[in-house]
Every structure is written in structure tokens, then in C-alpha cells.
């Protein structure tokens, strides 16, 4: 009983410490600084280093996403000052490239007054882009861009085959409610986000691999390729396609996406895609459907798949551009938008 006052003092001090940490979390955390709730929980307040060793792409990348789930570089732009939202899947996100090497980063570095944000989300298809308005963009105060650019195609290939299964990311969620909650707690926590920053800083200073995310080239996601099997757009034999070149299912999604953009007072631009294995039947059909939609609606679109002359050496895996390919694609996009956007 003589030790009772000591335990009481310890208990009070522990309680005060926990209370103080709780107050710090509430004040400096992100709990009330966005309206995204359980959407994009794994895409907010991210800072990490990726280390990779692909045949045509080796090194590290610094990967950051802000509280609004946009990928960012050194400079962040307030929503009211955003002119262009550049959307797509991992081919837009480009997490294994440093921000200034990505398509969006290169476009932002051009001499232009336009502010572009990277809204690329790994694995997201056109269904996810449709859901992004109500679940993401519309919840960002003062976000009213002049343009939405969609760099799409690769993640949509299963849609035109009518065998597409619902994917959590297309609803801006994780694969389970448990994962949603865990990621929500991590992305909003002041202390956890500082832990992420600390890990990055330690890697950049000491190069300890345990502080980096090591990417294995043999992972199924990235796959093996062969230069001899790379099919260039001009070499593709579309006469062998038995189905119509314009896919009605995909066209309906495009029409819905275009309408969502126009209803919000913005303009839409579509960019077609080619993969790290070249063009295939599905990508060809998607490209033709996009261009047909653009012609009918008098939209400005860029047929990058056909005209950018991307080669096997411009990719490091099945789908993703390396530094060289990213620069080639960005410069092609810039040249095709120069008179329509960047000079206005």
C-alpha cells in the first residue's frame, strides 16, 4: 500500500501523455481536412521511396501523394488554382519515376501558366474515373478545372470483353472494409505520416534498404516481355478483328464520362494508349472507339497509341513507360495541346 501514491502518479502521468498525444493528433492530423472519408484511403498523405531493378529501368523514385490524393512534386497547388486534372491508371501515376520524370511532371515543367495535377490511380479503369467525380473531385472545395484529361485504355481491356468483374479500386476503395479502416487511420494520422517521412529521410541519407520499398522485377504484375513480339501500331493487322472496331459498351462509358465533365463546366480530352508489348486487338478497338467518340462529339483527342511512335525500349514492363518513354509521351502530348491549351 505504501507504493500506491507512486502508481497513482504514474497512472496520472500516463493518462496526461495519452491525452496530449490525442490532442496533437486532432490538431495536426488530417482527420477533418478532407471530405473523402473511406475513399482513396491508401492514396493520401503518402511518402515513400521505391527501389527497382528492371532491365530498362533501374534506380529509385520518391513517391508522394497529398491529402487530396493527388501525386505531387516539390510544389503543391491549391485546388482553386488547378487548371487541369490529368487522370488515368498506373500509367499516369508512374510511381517508379520521380515526379519530374512523369508525364504530368514534364508537362508542368514546360513554360506555361497552367497548373496540372496528377490524379492517376493504379488499376483504375474508366468505371473508376466515372465514380471519381461524386466520390473524389466533387468533394474537393474550390476544385473547378478547365480541363479533365483522361489517358486511358490499358485498364479497360476486360470491359470490352464483357467479362469485367467489379474491382474495389473502381469504387475508390480497398479490397475489404478492414483494409479501408486501417488505411484510413494511417493516412489521417499525424504520427504515422511523420513516420513515413522519417523512413524516406533515413533512406535518402543512409541508403538502408529496409527504409525503401523494394520492387521485384519477377513479380507477376510486371511480367516478362520480348522485343521480337512487340507489335507496332502500323504493323497491326486489323483485318483479322472479327468484332466491330467500335465497341458499343465502351462507347457508352465514354459518353457518360464526357457528360460528367461537360456538366461541371469543364472540357474533356482523351489520350489513347499502347502497352509495353505493343498494340493488340483490344487496345486497337479501344483506341478506335475513343477517336470515333471524339470525332462525333467534336472533342480534342490525342491518338498517342498510333502517332507517338513509342517503342519496346520506351517501356520497362508490360504497360509502364520508363524515363525515356515518359519524356517522349509528354513531349508528344504537349505538342498536340500547345495551341489548344498551353497558349490560351
**What is the maximum alpha-carbon separation in the chain?**
93
Q: Output the pLDDT for position 341.
A: 82
Q: Is the pLDDT of residue 4 over 90?
A: no
* Residue 218 confidence (pLDDT): 63
Give the number of residues written for the chain: 344
- Helix (H) and strand (E) counts in the chain: 10, 8
Across the range 128-134, mean pLDDT stands at 98
- Report residue 37 as a C-alpha cell: 472519408
Residue 94 near residue 142, CB atoms below 8 Å: no
What integer pLDDT is reported at residue 2 of this predicted model?
55
Is 260 in contact with 302 (CB distance < 8 Å)? no
Nearest-Å Rg of the Cα atoms of the chain is 23
- Half-sphere exposure at residue 295, Cβ-oriented, CA atoms within 13 angstroms: 8
Place of cell 465497341: 247
> Of 120, 115, 141, nearest to 70 (Cα)?
120
Question: What sign for the dihedral angle of Cα 100, 130, 169, 251?
Answer: negative
Closest CA to 305 of 322, 291, 323, 324: 291
User: Could you tell me where the beta strands, DSSP code E, fall in the chain?
Assistant: 46-54, 57-65, 84-88, 116-120, 147-151, 213-214, 267-271, 300-302
- At 54-99, the pLDDT tens digits run 989 999 999 999 999 999 998 899 999 999 999 999 999 999 999 9
CB of 188 closer than 8 Å to CB of 45: yes
CA distance 220 to 223: 5
How does pLDDT run across 255-314, given as a tens digit for each residue? 999 999 999 999 999 999 999 999 999 999 999 999 999 999 999 999 999 999 999 999
- What pLDDT shows up at residue 5? 80
pLDDT (tens digit, 9 = 90+) per residue, 200-228?
A: 999 999 998 899 999 876 665 677 788 88
Running DSSP on this structure, what letter comes out for residue 341? I
Q: Which residues contact 5 (CB under 8 A, 6 or more apart)?
A: none
More confident residue, 162 or 37: 37
Query: Are the CB atoms for 113 and 343 separated by under 8 Å?
Result: no
Note whether 68 and 187 are within 8 A (CB).
no
CA–CA separation, 261 vs 66, rounded Å? 23
| pLDDT score for 242 | 76
Amino acid at each position: 500500500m505504501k507504493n500506491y501514491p507512486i502508481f497513482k502518479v504514474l497512472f496520472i502521468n500516463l493518462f496526461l501523455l495519452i491525452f496530449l498525444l490525442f490532442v496533437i493528433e486532432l490538431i495536426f492530423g488530417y482527420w477533418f481536412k478532407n471530405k473523402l472519408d473511406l475513399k482513396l484511403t491508401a492514396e493520401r498523405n503518402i511518402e515513400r521511396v521505391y527501389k527497382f531493378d528492371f532491365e530498362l529501368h533501374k534506380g529509385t523514385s520518391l513517391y508522394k501523394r497529398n491529402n487530396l490524393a493527388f501525386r505531387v512534386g516539390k510544389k503543391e497547388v491549391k485546388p482553386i488554382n488547378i487548371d487541369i486534372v490529368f487522370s488515368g491508371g498506373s500509367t499516369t501515376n508512374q510511381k517508379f519515376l520521380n515526379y519530374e520524370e512523369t508525364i504530368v511532371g514534364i508537362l508542368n515543367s514546360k513554360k506555361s501558366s497552367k497548373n496540372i495535377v496528377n490524379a492517376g490511380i493504379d488499376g483504375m479503369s474508366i468505371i473508376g474515373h466515372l465514380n471519381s467525380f461524386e466520390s473524389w473531385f466533387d468533394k474537393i472545395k474550390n476544385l473547378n478545372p478547365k480541363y479533365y484529361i483522361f489517358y486511358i485504355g490499358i485498364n479497360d481491356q476486360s470491359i470490352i470483353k464483357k467479362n469485367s468483374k467489379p474491382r474495389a479500386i473502381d469504387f475508390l476503395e480497398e479490397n475489404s472494409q478492414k483494409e479501408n479502416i486501417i488505411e484510413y487511420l494511417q493516412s489521417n494520422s499525424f504520427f504515422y505520416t511523420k513516420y513515413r517521412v522519417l523512413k524516406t529521410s533515413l533512406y535518402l541519407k543512409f541508403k538502408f534498404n529496409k527504409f525503401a520499398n523494394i520492387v521485384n522485377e519477377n513479380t507477376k504484375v510486371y511480367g516478362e516481355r520480348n522485343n521480337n513480339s512487340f507489335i507496332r501500331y502500323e504493323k497491326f493487322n486489323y483485318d483479322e478483328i472479327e468484332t466491330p472496331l467500335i465497341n458499343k459498351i465502351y462507347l457508352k462509358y465514354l459518353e457518360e464520362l464526357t457528360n460528367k465533365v461537360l456538366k461541371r463546366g469543364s472540357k474533356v480530352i482523351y489520350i489513347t494508349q499502347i502497352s509495353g508489348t505493343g498494340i493488340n486487338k483490344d487496345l486497337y478497338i479501344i483506341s478506335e472507339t475513343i477517336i470515333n467518340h471524339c470525332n462525333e462529339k467534336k472533342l480534342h483527342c490525342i491518338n498517342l497509341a498510333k502517332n507517338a511512335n513509342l517503342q519496346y525500349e520506351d517501356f520497362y514492363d508490360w504497360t509502364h513507360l520508363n524515363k525515356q518513354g515518359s519524356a517522349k509521351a509528354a513531349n508528344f502530348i504537349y505538342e498536340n495541346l500547345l495551341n489548344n491549351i498551353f497558349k490560351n
